[in-house]
Amino acid sequence: MLDEGWAMCNGHEARYRIVRRGRGFLMRGEEQILAVAFRCPVTQRGVAVEIGGACAEGELRRFLAAMAGLECH
């Protein structure tokens, strides 16, 4: 695990993790993943978003910062 913590996603407190993991069965190497999850009390739904690929940790942090402006409902 590279980092984990709390962030905001359209006013909702969201848990995030930035991790490194293997790409899978046919692709070699590793990729970095940003996983964000939160619960919306208005819609009573859980939301989970995972973004990853051959990107730098800084790019994932920019995605995380942009998620504050997303609209949930």
Q: How far apart are the first and last CA of the chain?
A: 31
Give the per-residue pLDDT at 23: 77
Domain extent at residue 29: 3-69
**Beta-bridge partners for 32:** 20, 53
Q: The whole model's pTM is what?
A: 0.84
Distance (Å, whole) CA 49 – CA 33 = 10
Residue 63: strand, helix, or coil: helix
The structural domain count of the chain equals: 1
Location of structure tokens 């790019």? 59
2-23 pLDDT, tens digit per residue, is: 999 999 988 899 999 999 988 7
38-71 pLDDT, tens digit per residue, is: 999 999 999 999 999 888 999 999 999 999 888 8
